[in-house]
Amino acid sequence: MLVLRLLNVVAPAYFLCISLVTFVLQIFLFIPSMFRDPSTTPLFSPALLHGALFLFLSANALGNYVLVIQSSPEDLGKGLKLSEGAEVVADWLDGSRSPGSALPSTHFCRLCARVTQRHDHHCFFTGNCIGSRNMRNFIMFCLYTSLACLDSLVAGMAYISAALSMSFANPLAFLTLLPHSISQFFSGALLSSEMFVILMLYLWLGIGLACAGFCCHQMLLILRGQTRYQVRRGMVVRARPWRENLQEVFGKRWLLGLLIPVLNVGSDYRRQKEK
């Protein structure tokens, strides 16, 4: 438990550090050096367009990240107005009552010390549980983080290709880049800044693939009307049309949440409390 609590503090700090390093590399290294085109007007220059795209992806990823943290799990004693909600939470705190004994699809998390309605999982990178209040923002966070990592990966590969005069036309070139770079770095043929960018390429690839996998897996569960907690516990859910399952998570005005980081606008949260 001590290791999990430590991870719950270190993981968000690690993610914010990676985000800050990515922002600095994109704005002050990749964009100025790789997207210069004197023949175009400043308004439609590649540097400005790429910078605007990167800022859009980063703002959505960071905005939804903050909303996931701010949208804390529900306090069942207050949010659902149960007469014995405080006693239920107290029983869960000392482990004398099973989380499934009060309401279906609820779970008490010892890391958060909260009870989550429609609990899905505990996200260490946000230090918060994912449930009915922040599921949509978590999916948008994963989506835009994967896109921002892909954008940084492409820009970084273009920078390394120009700096080292190499081509990535062969798919094996990226796989063999790291071992060759390590040998060149220790032999003094590679600068430390270039080696740092190469390491960031693989980090962006790993984070991007992980976030894309989380997003796709979460969408499949939402279409089926399930959560990860329900799947692990073997809980049976009522079959509903997939459109209703999507609307329950994304709300009626889902397009607004797709473009800008906002709370669960248009979602029928009152109906979730009545279940």
Cβ burial of 69 (10 Å; 0-12, 13-18, 19+) is: middle
Q: Are the C-beta atoms of 104 and 237 separated by less than 8 Å? A: no
Q: Which of 123, 129, 142, 215 is catalytic?
A: 123
d(CA 249, CA 258): 13
- Residue 129 appears among annotated catalytic residues: no
Contacts of 132 (CB under 8 A, 6+ apart): 74, 116, 117, 118, 269, 272
Helices (H) and strands (E) in the chain, counts: 13, 4
Q: What is the CA radius of gyration of the chain?
A: 22
From residue 48, alpha-carbon distances to 26, 149, 156 in Å are 12, 19, 17
Active site residues: 123
